[in-house]
Each structure stands twice: as C-alpha cells, then as structure tokens.
C-alpha cells in the first residue's frame, strides 16, 4: 500500500461529493484538504483489518474493493463491494458520542453489537480486488469540523444514513436463495459481476465454490438472462442470433 499527497482535481471531486452529502458548502475546507492523501493498493492489499481501529474515510477514485467479516466461529464472508464513487469507512469510527452513552448505560437490547463503536474498531477487513486508488481523509479532522460547523455534521449524518439504507437493502436481498441473488446481480449490476472471480461471487453469496459453479452453469444455459461482457455491459443472445444490449454501469454503494 502506497500513500502520497492528493492531487488538486481529486480533492475537488471529493469536495463536490461531500458538499452534495452536506447539502451546503463545507466551511474551512482547506483544513480538511490538508489531511487528504492518495492511497494506492495492489490486488490483495489490505486497507483496514477487522477488530482494529481505523479512523479514516475514503473516496474510491478507481478500482474495486471487498469488505469481509469473520464470525466468532471463524466463518468469513464478503459483506459488500466498494466501487468507483463510493465513500468507504469503518462505520464504527463515524459513530457519534451518543452511541457511546447508549452502550455505557445499557440502553439498547443489542448493546453487545454496538460495543465495537467504543474503540472505533472496524467490523470488516477491506482489501483490494483490483489495482485501486482512494482518497483518504482523517475522520478525526472531520469530527472536529463537525463540532464547529453544522454542514460538516450534516455530511456525517448523510453518509451514515446512506450506509444504513444500503445495508438494509442488502439484508433484504440476503434472504433470497443464492441463485436468485446471482440472477439479480447479473441483471442489475453486470459491471460488478464481470469484474469478480467465481470465488469472489461465492463468498458474497455465502456458498462454496462447487454450488457456485452449478449456479453459473445453469444460468449460462438460460437464454433470457443477459451475459455481462468485459466492459460491464450486459448482453443476451436474442432468438434471431443478434445481440441485445442492456445498460450497465456502476451504482454507488456504501
């Protein structure tokens, strides 16, 4: 993993994105900008590790990353992927001080699930699937600015809300069978499917590689389903042998 100073156009892209989350101009931007760094990852490089503090917020400028979680029994699965345009962070680092009070006073029925926020410990191990470039900012700087300026606090709230909404959507999809989820992925996010190995997909769908191979084989024989191409555009064979195109592309995630 290599780090270097953020270039001007990259910082400007991040500013426009965060101000969209805030719904207003972000005061004292220069203070925040001085904390920015470019992080370059080779495939397999680990960005953050589960159960370790990681008080940073990232914009994925290019590339693809996976977030994996390990259960107390040692089972590991892929929770989500972060693509270009995503904001990525250890959400426990973004937890407000109010969460600490809720945990310390035992005010929630699932207080043990909230306890990692006390140490700002990451709940995921995040690593690069592809060569990736991210813009890194120190959340401790954001936290200070949020205490001084309402737009920064609004930005933090919006990022957390978007994360919660996408996590909820993923939780609903996780109730479907692995084959149904794979079919939905191929139709709705062909770009992502085209960039992943079968092993990556199996880990995401929470199946082993053998049933994943069977699922892929069955679906490849289904002429109704688009086939993701190398450029991420879904293609399906029409009955007359011509190509049918469906729009593909990246959808922002956590």
Residues 125 and 216 in one domain: no
Number of domains in the chain: 2
Which residue among 173, 204, 226 closes a domain?
173
Residues 206 and 134 in one domain: no
Residues 142 and 190 in one domain: no
Is residue 102's pLDDT more than 90? no
Residues 35 and 102 in one domain: yes
Is residue 251's pLDDT more than 70? no
Residues 127 and 214 in one domain: no
Place of tokens 């306890």: 115
Note the pLDDT tens digit of each residue in 152-196: 999 988 988 888 888 788 788 788 899 999 998 998 889 999 999
Alpha helices by DSSP H, listed for 83-229, are: 97-104, 111-114, 139-148, 150-173, 178-188, 190-194, 198-205, 209-220
Q: Is residue 254 part of a domain?
A: no
- Name the residue among 63, 67, 65, 89 with its Cα closest to residue 80: 67
Strands 56-62 and 87-89: antiparallel
Q: Which residues contact 36 (CB under 8 A, 6 or more apart)?
A: 5, 6, 10, 11, 14, 135, 136, 137
* pLDDT value, residue 223: 60
Among 33-37, 76-80, 93-97, 107-111, which stretch is predicted with the lowest mean pLDDT? 93-97
Which residue among 173, 194, 218 closes a domain?
173
Rounded to the nearest integer, the mean pLDDT of the chain is 82
Residues 92 and 198 in one domain: no
The span from the CA of 188 to the CA of 163, in Å, is 19
CA angle 160, 151, 67 (to 5 degrees): 25
CB-CB contact of 90 with 123 (8 Å): yes
Note the pLDDT tens digit of each residue in 108-123: 898 888 887 777 788 8
The span from the CA of 125 to the CA of 103, in Å, is 24
- Identify the DSSP state of 121: B
Residues 27 and 51 in one domain: yes
Q: How far is CA 58 from CA 11, 65, 85, 103, 242, in A?
A: 12, 12, 10, 27, 42
* pLDDT value, residue 228: 56
Q: Is residue 252 part of a domain?
A: no
Domain span including residue 209: 178-246
Q: Is residue 203 part of a domain?
A: yes
Residues 129 and 198 in one domain: no
Residues 28 and 141 in one domain: yes
Q: How many CA atoms lie within 13 A of 139 on its CB side?
A: 22
CB-CB contact of 192 with 185 (8 Å): yes
Residues 31 and 125 in one domain: yes
Residues 133 and 219 in one domain: no
The span from the CA of 69 to the CA of 123, in Å, is 7
């Amino acid at each position: 993993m290599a780090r270097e100073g953020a270039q001007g156009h990259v910082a400007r892209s991040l500013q426009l994105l965060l101000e969209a989350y805030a719904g207003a101009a972000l005061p004292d931007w220069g203070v925040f900008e001085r904390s920015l760094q470019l992080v370059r990852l080779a495939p397999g490089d680990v960005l953050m590790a589960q159960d370790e503090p990681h008080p940073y917020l990232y914009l994925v400028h290019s590339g693809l990353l996976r977030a994996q979680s390990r259960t107390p029994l040692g089972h590991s699965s892929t929770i989500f992927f972060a693509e270009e345009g995503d904001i990525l962070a250890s959400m426990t680092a973004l937890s407000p001080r109010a969460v600490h009070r809720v945990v310390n006073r035992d005010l929630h029925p699932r207080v043990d699930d909230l306890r990692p926020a006390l140490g700002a410990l990451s709940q995921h191990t995040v690593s690069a699937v592809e060569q990736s470039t991210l813009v890194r900012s120190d959340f401790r700087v954001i936290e200070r600015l949020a205490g001084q300026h309402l737009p920064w606090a609004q930005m933090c709230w919006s990022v957390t809300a978007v994360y919660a909404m996408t996590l909820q959507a993923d939780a609903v999809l996780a109730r479907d069978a692995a084959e149904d989820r794979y079919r939905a992925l191929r139709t709705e996010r062909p770009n992502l499917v085209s960039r992943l190995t079968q092993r990556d997909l199996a880990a995401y769908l929470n199946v082993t590689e053998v049933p994943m191979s069977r699922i892929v084989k069955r679906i490849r024989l289904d002429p109704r389903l688009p086939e993701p191409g190398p450029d991420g555009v879904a293609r399906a064979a029409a009955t007359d042998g011509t190509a049918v195109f469906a729009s593909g592309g990246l959808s922002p995630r956590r």
